[in-house]
Amino acid sequence: MTKLLYQGHGSFRLTLASGEVIYIDPFAGEGYDLHADLILVTHQHHDHNNTDIMPHSDKCIIFQNYDAITENGYASFDFAGAHIESVPAYNKNHDIKQCVGYVITIEGKTLYFAGDTSKTEYMKELAKRDIEYAFLPTDGIYNMDIPEAIECAEIIKAKHTVPVHMSPGKLFERKRAEKFVTSSALIVEPGDTIEWE
């Protein structure tokens, strides 16, 4: 059983069926008790790279945004049965050369963690990928606002689109999440898990 825990804001913990643990953009919230085997960081803002908040396994890999962007483009690699791809993320507050999102395929499901971004051209490619879950920022200050996030959801065509990163300094904002109205919308609160085999 693969389990994805939403920790709030833009932070996630992915526990693989084999036992390895991947953290994505660790920052705050609960669920940092498990040893990290891999930590994925989309960019260097403080609310996405708190890599010391959890214990690390002896072989823990911290994969930063600057590891993800290479001279040959966006890096991808395999880890414990998961295929991880870094993809473009950018807007007026986030330099395309310093920010990424991640696409993770594990146990037959493909997940898109957008990181801090607004609409990107790459999202048209995601529409071809049969994305199971897409996690899109919606704060409207540092990232796209809800109407643009809804537009992105329609472009990506994920089976489930989850609004995250709703308000600076807050893990979650229910009223804002409920404004994200699209056919694929799924509201997930901090502490909620998504599971599949």
Two structure tokens written together for 96: 């395309």
156 alpha-carbon distance from chain centroid: 14
In the predicted model, is pLDDT for residue 127 greater than 90? yes
- Structural domain that includes position 169: 2-189
53-60: average pLDDT = 98
Flag whether 83 is in a domain: yes
Flag whether 103 is in a domain: yes
Flag whether 194 is in a domain: no
Flag whether 99 is in a domain: yes
Flag whether 132 is in a domain: yes
Distance CA 113, CA 11 (A): 10
In the predicted model, is pLDDT for residue 28 greater than 90? yes
Distance CA 144, CA 60 (A): 32
**Each residue's pLDDT tens digit, 77-99:** 999 999 999 999 999 999 999 99
Flag whether 25 is in a domain: yes
Distance CA 197, CA 102 (A): 21
Flag whether 124 is in a domain: yes
Q: pTM of the predicted model, to two decimals?
A: 0.97
Question: Checking DSSP bridges between strand 109-113 and strand 82-88, what pairing results, if any?
Answer: unpaired
CATH number for the domain harbouring residue 100: 3.60.15.10
Q: Is 129 exposed, middle or buried (0-12, 13-18, 19+ CB in 10 A)?
A: middle
23-46: average pLDDT = 97
Distance CA 145, CA 120 (A): 14
65-75: average pLDDT = 96
pLDDT at 168: 87
> What is the chain's mean pLDDT, rounded?
97
CB atoms within 10 A of CB 37: 21
In the predicted model, is pLDDT for residue 175 greater than 90? yes
DSSP 189: -
- Give me the number of domains the chain comprises: 1
DSSP 91: B
| CA dihedral of residues 166, 169, 170, 176 (deg, nearest 10) | -30
Please enumerate, as own/partner, the contacts of 144-153 that have beta carbons within 8 Å and a separation of 24 or more. 144/91, 144/117, 144/118, 144/119, 146/176, 146/179, 146/180, 148/118, 148/119, 149/180, 150/180, 150/181, 150/182, 151/119, 152/114, 152/119, 152/123, 153/182, 153/184, 153/185
**pLDDT band for position 128 (cuts 50, 70, 90):** very high
Two structure tokens written together for 155: 């472009």
Flag whether 195 is in a domain: no
